[in-house]
Chain A
Amino acid sequence: MRHLLVQTLREFLRPYKGTVWVVVLLLLVQSIGNLYLPNLNADLINNGVAKGDIGYIWRIGAIMLAISALIIGASIVIAYFSSKVSMSFGRDVRKAVFVSVERFSTRELNKFGAPSLITRNTNDVQQVQMVLFMGLTMMVAAPITGIGAVIMALKTNVRLSGLLLVAVPAMGLLIYWLLRRIVPLFRVMQVRIDRINLVLREQIAGVRVIRAFVKTRYEEERFAGANNELAQTTLSVTRTFAIMFPALTFILNISSIAVIWFGAKLIDTGSMPIGNLTAFLSYIMQILMSVMMAVMMSLMIPRAEASAERIQEVLLTPSSVIETTDPKSPKARKGLIEFKDVEFRYPGAEHPVLSGISFTAKPGVMTAIVGSTGSGKTTLLNLIPRFIDASAGQILMDGIDVRDQSLENVWSEIGFVPQRAFLFGGTIASNLKYGKADASDEELWKALAVAQADEFVKEKEDGLNSPVSQGGTNFSGGQRQRLSIARAIVKQPQIYILDDSFSALDYSTDAKLRVALEEHAKNSTLIVVAQRVSTIMKADQIVVLNNGKIDGIGNHADLMKSCKTYQEIVLSQLSPEEAAS
Chain B
Amino acid sequence: MSQRRPSPPMGGGPRGGPMGGFGGPPAKSKDFKGSLKRLLKELRGERNILIGVVALITTSVTIGAFGPKLLGRATNYIFYGYLGRKLPAGISKADAVTQLKNTGQNRLAQMLQESGVVPGQGVDFHAIARIIALVTVLYLFSSLFSWIQGYLMAGVTNRTLYRLRRIAEEKIGRLPLSYFDTQSRGDLLSRVTNDIDNIGNSLQQGLAQILNSILTVLSVLAMMLWISPTLALVALIAIPASMFASIFIAKKSQKQFIAQWDWTGKLNGHVEEMHTGHSLVKVFGRRQQAITDFGTLNDALFESSFKAQFISGIIQPVTQLVSNLIYVAIAVLGGYRVATGSMSLGDVQAFIQYSRQFGMPLAQIAGLMNVVQSGVASAERLFELLDAKEEEGDPVSFKEIGRAVGKIEFKDVAFRYTKDQPLLENFNLSVTPGQTVAIVGPTGAGKTTLVNLMMRFYDIWEGSILLDGVDIRDYKRDDLRRQFGMVLQDTWLFSGTMRENIGYGSSTPTDDKVEEAAKAANIDHFLRALPAGYDSLLTDDNSTVSNGERQLLTIARAFMADPAILILDEATSSVDTRTEVLVQQAMAKLRSGRTSFVIAHRLSTIRDADVILVMDKGGLVEQGSHEALMASKGFYYDLYASQFEASIND
B206 within 8 A of A: no
Bound-state Cα–Cα, A437 to B336, Å: 79
Instruction: Answer whether A260 and B74 are a contact pair too, CB < 8 Å, given A227-B165, A511-B643.
Output: yes
Distance between A293 CB and nearest chain B CB, rounded to angstroms: 10
Task: Report Cα–Cα, A242/B328, bound state, in Å.
Answer: 35
Q: Which of B84-110 contact A (CB under 8 A)?
A: 85, 105, 107-108
| A280: B residues at CB distance < 8 A | none
Hey, what's the 0/1 contact readout for A113-141 against B, CB within 8 Å counting as 1? 01001100110001000100110010000
Q: Tell me which residues across on chain A come within 8 A of B332, comparing CB atoms.
A: 44, 57-58, 60-61, 64
How close is A468's CB to chain B, nearest CB, in angstroms? 11
Q: How far is the CA of A192 from the CA of B135 in the complex (A)?
A: 44
Interface stretch among A71-79, A144-152, A397-405, A442-450? A71-79
Is B172's CB under 8 angstroms from A372's CB? no
Interface 9-mer from B145-153, B362-370, B375-383: B145-153
Interface: B628 (CB within 8 A): no
Q: Are B494 and A568 in contact (CB under 8 A)?
A: no
Question: In the assembly, what is the distance between CA of A229 and CA of B285, in Å?
Answer: 49
* Residue count of chain B within 8 Å CB distance of chain A: 170
Contact flag A48-B283 (CB < 8 Å), given A245-B146, A574-B603: no
Assess whether B418 is interfacial by the CB under 8 Å rule.
no
A300 and B269: CB pair below 8 A?
Answer: no
When the two chains form their complex, are residues B648 and A114 in contact, meaning their CB atoms are under 8 A apart?
no
Asked whether any CB of chain B lies closer than 8 Å to the CB of A211, the reply is: yes
CA A556 – CA B439 in complex, angstroms? 30
Q: Are B271 and A122 in contact (CB under 8 A)?
A: yes
Count A-B pairs with CB separation below 8 Å.
436
Asked if B639 lies at the interface with its beta carbon under 8 angstroms from chain A, I say yes
**A88 proximal to B (CB < 8 A):** yes
- Complex: A242 Cα to B324 Cα, angstroms: 30
B34-42, B398-406, B423-431, B573-581 - interface stretch: B573-581
Would you call A573 an interface residue if the criterion is a C-beta within 8 Å of the partner chain's C-beta atoms? Answer: yes
The answer to the question of B228 belonging to the interface, with a C-beta cut-off of 8 Å to chain A, is no
Closest CB of chain A to B259's CB: distance in Å?
13
B143 and A250 within 8 A (CB): yes
Q: Report the bound CA distance from A211 to B335 in whole Å.
A: 78
Chain A residue nearest in CB terms to B303? A87
Question: Is A519 within 8 A of B172, CB to CB?
Answer: no
Q: Is B548 a contact partner of A373 (Cβ separation < 8 A)?
A: yes
Chain A residues with Cβ under 8 A from B345's Cβ? 45, 49, 274
Neighbour of B576 across the interface among A219, A228, A278, A373, CB < 8 A: A373
B577 touches A569 (CB 8 A): yes
CB-CB under 8 A from A109, the residues of chain B are 275, 278
Evaluate whether A214 and B143 lie within 8 angstroms (CB atoms) in the complex, with A518-B649, A519-B648 already known.
no
Q: Which residues of B contact A238 (CB under 8 A)?
A: 8, 154, 157-158, 204
- Is the C-beta of B287 less than 8 angstroms from some C-beta in chain A? yes
A112's nearest neighbour on chain B, judged by CB, is B275
Contact of A86 (CB < 8 Å), options: B158, B275, B309: B309
Binding site secondary structure of chain B: helix
Give the docked Cα–Cα distance between A234 and B162 (Å).
Answer: 10
A59-91 residues with Cβ-Cβ distance < 8 A to B are: 60-61, 64-65, 68-69, 71-72, 75-76, 79-80, 82-84, 86-88, 90-91
Q: How far, in Å, is A515 (CB) from chain B's closest CB?
A: 5
Contact A252 B123 (CB under 8 A): no
Cα distance A508–B172 when bound, in Å?
Answer: 40
User: Once bound together, how far apart are the Cα atoms of A68 and B318, in whole Å?
Assistant: 11
Q: Are B310 and A79 in contact (CB under 8 A)?
A: yes
Residues of B within 8 A of A130 (CB): 13, 22
Does the CB pair A242–B150 fall under 8 Å? yes
With the chains together, A102 CA to B284 CA distance in Å?
Answer: 13
Distance between B275 CB and nearest chain A CB, rounded to angstroms: 4
Contact of B495 among A198, A219, A253, A491 (CB under 8 A): A198
Of chain B, the residue at the smallest CB distance from A407 is B282
- Beyond A44-B335, A90-B305, whether A98 also contacts B291 by CB under 8 A is yes
B151 near A239: Cβ-Cβ < 8 Å:
yes
By a CB distance below 8 angstroms, the chain A residues around B204 are: 238
| A244 beta carbon closer than 8 Å to chain B | yes
| CB < 8 Å neighbour of B161 from A101, A231, A270, A508 | A231
The 7 A-B pairs with the shortest beta carbon distances in the complex, nearest first, are A242-B150, A373-B576, A79-B313, A372-B576, A61-B332, A75-B317, A238-B154
Give me 6 A-to-B residue pairs in the complex whose CB atoms sit less than 8 angstroms apart, sorted by A's number: A69-B321, A212-B485, A234-B161, A254-B139, A373-B546, A508-B639
Apart from A204-B188, A245-B4: 16 A-B pairs, beta carbons within 8 A: A65-B325, A76-B314, A79-B309, A83-B306, A83-B309, A122-B267, A208-B177, A213-B486, A231-B159, A231-B161, A237-B8, A263-B78, A268-B122, A300-B14, A373-B547, A476-B443
